[in-house]
Structure 1
Amino acid sequence: MVEGKNIRLGFHRSMDIFKGIPFADVPETFEKPERHPGWEGVLKATEYKEICLQLKPLLPGTRGSDDCLYLNIWVPHGRTVSAELPVMVWLFGGAFLIGGSMGTNILDLATKLYDGQEIADRGNVIVVTLGYRVGTLGFLSTGDSLLPGNYGLWDQHAAIAWVHRNIRAFGGDPDNITIFGESAGGASVNFQILSPYNKGLIRRAISESGVALCPWSIIKDPRAFAEEVARKVNCPTDHKMAACLKTSDPVRLTEAGSFSLFSSPSAPLVENMILSAVIDGDFLPHEPCNLFHNAADVDYIAGINDMDGHILASGDIPSINLPFWETSIDDMKTLLQSFTKPKGEPGMKEAFSVYTSKWAPDPSKEEVKRTIVDIETDYVFLVPTQVALELHAASARSGRTYSYRFSEPSRLGGRVKPYPTWMGADHTEELQYLFGMPYREFLLYWPHDRKLSDYMIAYWTNFAKTGDPNKGNSEVPTTWPEFTKGRRYLDINHKMNASSVGRKMRKQYVNFWTVTLPNLPDV
């Protein structure tokens, strides 16, 4: 038995909110999650639980707890108690290093970002958010069976299986579960539908700004970093390493998983990300590109923000954000060299030729800066997402495939704000609209922001109900065609109309990264 809170939302409308329901027992260090043993009497489920143990962003030390495998549920009701509602399960992002089921406080506001109330109310769906292990405790691996890794992915799977077993008691349909997530959460969504362990549990999936094929999603050689962590916590690096790590203090292990956030064009940030999923021969039995047959009957949406790469590019080449500073073209060449390393100088030159082909003879400062953001967006997010969509469409039986680009200019763009005037949608920018922040923090947003929030919630929840983002109980501004009909995609912003449908997203650049570059000889 669990007891949550019921809140009134209007005439014949209310919502049940449950916070902090355990979906698994307190996990042992570097072990898969186990089922929760249960409890006597009634569990009070009215407060968020602590986030999983993790490093503090940009600060020394840690925060959170190793007792963190809890989920939160929002259930909308009308005149009658709901039954058989579609279920949407959210997987948070944060580079597999940080984050939690409730999201961050925005500008110190009372509401948390990942509050499911607006999606649940406006879309008439059940929303579930969950915690999973991150950082060292979630993703450290020795690259063998002694400490195989992917513990955070196993936590996500345990939560999805819990929802499948129990959501009917909350008014949900266990046979209509949609998982959705952003960044590392988007890649996690992709991993979950590719893993054989989720067969029959997931009906639909949405990956925002992250898929299993992104260059940061899989660590190819995890052993070296595991040995580095072992040395920091005074463990041996031989055959006794895994056993020693499992008995080490979780806080010290988490602190030992820190790494440098300093980056440059020759050492871009994306290459510093050292804790992610691994191909463990179990949860992920093969390379992700060979596992799309497992998602053949899963409806799938995947997309990006048009300037997703800005979050990384502004660290690698900070001058792109400084309006009166020029950005060196040599820096751009060095960055391309980093991304085309196996192909040597010919690879960099070919890439430079492709990315400058539309430049004016004397490119402006802004043109150079935007091109750098395009390069990082393409390499880190857009091209892998397009490849994932192609693989899903090619493997699909009943599963449908949809592609989008989110292009609402950043609300932080402008002369006296942190972003340049030419800024589009940075990484994470869509989340405030998806989770209905323009309604929850009414005075901080314009009416057109609420319109965009309506559009996103309508498309996402229609898809959760029917597998078609155009069909459900919510009106949408324009028809979103399937990806398979001419490689089409939907451009999402507050000015949407019939011309918001495009074909073959950034075809020239996708072709370069997937065909031209791989066919150059390795140096």
Structure 2
Amino acid sequence: MSRICSIAFICLAAAATATAEAAADPLIVELPNGKVRGRDNEGYYSYESIPYAEPPVGELRFEAPQPYAQQWSEVFDATTPPAYCMQWNQFAEGADKLVGIEDCLTISVYKPKNSSRCSFPVVVNIHGGAFMFGAPVEHGHEPIMASGNLIVVKITYRLGPIGFLSTGDATLSGNFGLKDQRLALRWIKQNIARFGGEPENILVLGHSAGGASVHLQMLQEDFNQLAKVAVSFSGNALHPWVVQQGARRRAFEMGRIVGCGLLSDSVELKKCLQSKDASEIVRAVRQFLVFDYVPFAPFAPVVESEDAPEPFITQHPIDIIKSGKFAQVPWLTTYTQEDGTYNAALLMAKQLNGAEFIEELNSRWYELAPHFLFYRDSKKTIDDMDDYSRDLRQQYLGNRNFSVESYLDVQRIFTDILFRNDTLRSIDLHRRHGKSPVYGYVYDNPTSRGSAQVLAQRDDTYFGTGHGDDYALIFEKAITQPRADEKIISKNFIRLLEDFAQSDSGSLTYDNCVFPNNIEQEQLQFILIKSNSCEILKLDPIS
């Protein structure tokens, strides 16, 4: 079938799904639950805060989400931006960082006005935030809307202890936030054609914890029924901060903090926690932090027990990948040259005495490093933990002290341990045990002012290409206006997404660089993206 005929056929199919009223008023979309009315934003339409799950409150707290079943007798107002799911937000001003509501599970759709298209490929964005905080409203969609060729869908999901608290058994299985994402992806697959989206051309992406979430979703064998391709920016399931141990201990400690007593029974703990106000549970997050927002993911995904109801994963991601039993979809995973700015840049913040916190590590490295780098629960003994801390310090610093002068070497520890090493390891495992294309890129082009400067609360330090410097050119609401080179890069990234979502072969290009498929390579091959160029970068796997 010719492309013109294909477009005509798609347009006829799209028109068939639209009601006469919707054809007359593009702001009206009819869903199985009733009609919704969106907003005209000049260059695009938005349909926000559409519920996809029943409110996860009361007896539904700490349970898998239930599909939204209510019927609307009147037109649903879809003009209100999505609320934050209740969270202890690292970037909230003041001492009380509580943000959001518990009844928060919604989907928001953004559709460009483009008279040359009657249907659009779909980009689904799973937001990041260490599984602890964040929201769709923090991620701008205007650059993609300006390109006019993609529908963007953003989802909310439960976070922190509300979304990830687990006792490691069937009673409090955990991974509720991941199960929210899964239900949202099903909703999108079933309903996006009603908005003009192409359900056969869905790309799911995320940054940081959102990227790790995308990878975890891919480890479900039937993910290929929900999406065509996937992208994980600076986050995948193998990073040490993603699937953690020690969840049961933290769950019962949460119960003690909020007044449930010294319990040892999961049923009693769950009943008590369901009776508490959600704000009590979320405010208790601060009791699990040892410094600022460290460790940044005290509540995160877990390996569930096999007898859990509707378990998300019952094996560690490494074992799932080695089994080959995961979705075979083309996948791009990435990192930035200095991804470790999150959370290393906190070390450059000045204390009340005027000194930077990094100097504290000279006396507290063995205490704090396991929290910063997420190996406190993975080492069998304190001696093992101390030996690893000592090895890291010697490998990256030698005999030097922790200081402002050695900061970039300390940041490199964070980059390697928290982001880079397991990106390489993940691609290596996928190419050995998978069949679908797997790609990687490294981004090396520092922004003028990014998340590192915000964390450090200073603009007089060079941090390199930090966490989110690339993703911010697609989705983030920019801290500063992008430079001329960044505007070009932004367009190249958006074109990459457009082409990837529509590619029949799963091929991938950035500007004039064709991504090598790692399944066919002897060495790991990435595209290195710099200010005004891109080139193939060959790397050795991490042993």
Partner of 1:519 in structure 2?
A: none
Q: How does 1:169-318 map onto structure 2 within 5 Å?
A: 169-196=194-221, 198=223, 200-236=225-261, 237-239=263-265, 240-263=268-291, 269-270=294-295, 273-280=297-304, 281=306, 282-292=311-321, 293-316=324-347
The number of equivalent residue pairs is 474
CA offsets, 1:322-346, max 9 Å, x none? Answer: 9999969957985997468665676
Shift of 1:205: 1.1
Relative distance call for 1:143 and 1:102 in structure 2 (3 A) is: same
Secondary structure of 1:426's counterpart equals coil
Secondary structure of 2:442's counterpart equals strand
Aligned pair partner of 1:39 in 72, 83, 103: 72
User: Is this contact kept in 1: 2:427–2:438, CA < 8 A?
Assistant: yes
2:496 partner amino acid? Y
2:41 aligned with 1:17: no
User: TM-score under structure 1 normalisation?
Assistant: 0.81
Partner of 1:157 in structure 2?
A: 182
Q: How does 1:109-188 map onto structure 2 within 5 Å?
A: 114-122=139-147, 124-188=149-213
1:388 partner amino acid? S
Aligned pair partner of 1:6 in 22, 31, 40: 40
Partner of 2:513 in structure 1?
A: 478
Partner of 1:518 in structure 2?
A: none
User: Is this contact kept in 1: 2:113–2:148, CA < 8 A?
Assistant: no
Partner of 1:48 in structure 2?
A: 81
Relative distance call for 1:251 and 1:458 in structure 2 (3 A) is: same
Q: How high is the sequence identity, in percent, across the aligned residues?
A: 26
Shift of 1:435: 2.2
Aligned pair partner of 2:130 in 86, 95, 102: 95
Q: Which runs of 5+ in 2 are unaligned?
A: 1-34
Q: How does 1:409-420 map onto structure 2 within 5 Å?
A: 409-412=446-449, 418-419=458-459
Shift of 1:7: 4.0
Matched residues in 1 for 2:516 and 2:367: separation?
35
Partner of 1:373 in structure 2?
A: 411
CA offsets, 1:346-384, max 9 Å, x none? Answer: 656655564369xxx999977732211111110011111
Matched residues in 1 for 2:50 and 2:360: separation?
52
Secondary structure of 1:418's counterpart equals coil
Partner of 1:70 in structure 2?
A: 106
1:371 partner amino acid? D
Shift of 1:250: 1.6
Secondary structure of 1:387's counterpart equals helix
User: Is this contact kept in 2: 1:337–1:344, CA < 8 A?
Assistant: no
User: TM-score under structure 2 normalisation?
Assistant: 0.78
Partner of 1:108 in structure 2?
A: none
2:474 aligned with 1:434: yes
User: Is this contact kept in 2: 1:29–1:250, CA < 8 A?
Assistant: no
Secondary structure of 1:269's counterpart equals coil
Matched residues in 1 for 2:358 and 2:168: separation?
44
Matched residues in 1 for 2:391 and 2:508: separation?
39
User: Is this contact kept in 2: 1:263–1:316, CA < 8 A?
Assistant: no
2:396 partner amino acid? Y
Q: How does 1:285-434 map onto structure 2 within 5 Å?
A: 285-292=314-321, 293-316=324-347, 334=366, 338=370, 343=384, 351=392, 354-355=395-396, 368-397=406-435, 399-412=436-449, 418-419=458-459, 421-434=461-474
Q: Which runs of 5+ in 1 are unaligned?
A: 10-14, 104-113, 516-523
2:94 aligned with 1:82: no
Relative distance call for 1:121 and 1:324 in structure 2 (3 A) is: closer
2:508 partner amino acid? P
User: Is this contact kept in 2: 1:317–1:331, CA < 8 A?
Assistant: no
Relative distance call for 1:352 and 1:26 in structure 2 (3 A) is: closer
Moved more, 455-464 or 220-229: 455-464
Partner of 1:446 in structure 2?
A: 483
Shift of 1:24: 1.3
User: Is this contact kept in 2: 1:319–1:326, CA < 8 A?
Assistant: no
Secondary structure of 2:513's counterpart equals coil
Moved more, 35-44 or 181-190: 35-44
User: Is this contact kept in 1: 2:133–2:160, CA < 8 A?
Assistant: yes
Matched residues in 2 for 1:409 and 1:214: separation?
23
1:291 partner amino acid? I
Relative distance call for 1:317 and 1:448 in structure 2 (3 A) is: closer
Matched residues in 1 for 2:39 and 2:188: separation?
19
User: Is this contact kept in 1: 2:130–2:209, CA < 8 A?
Assistant: yes
Matched residues in 1 for 2:81 and 2:312: separation?
29
User: Is this contact kept in 1: 2:361–2:368, CA < 8 A?
Assistant: no
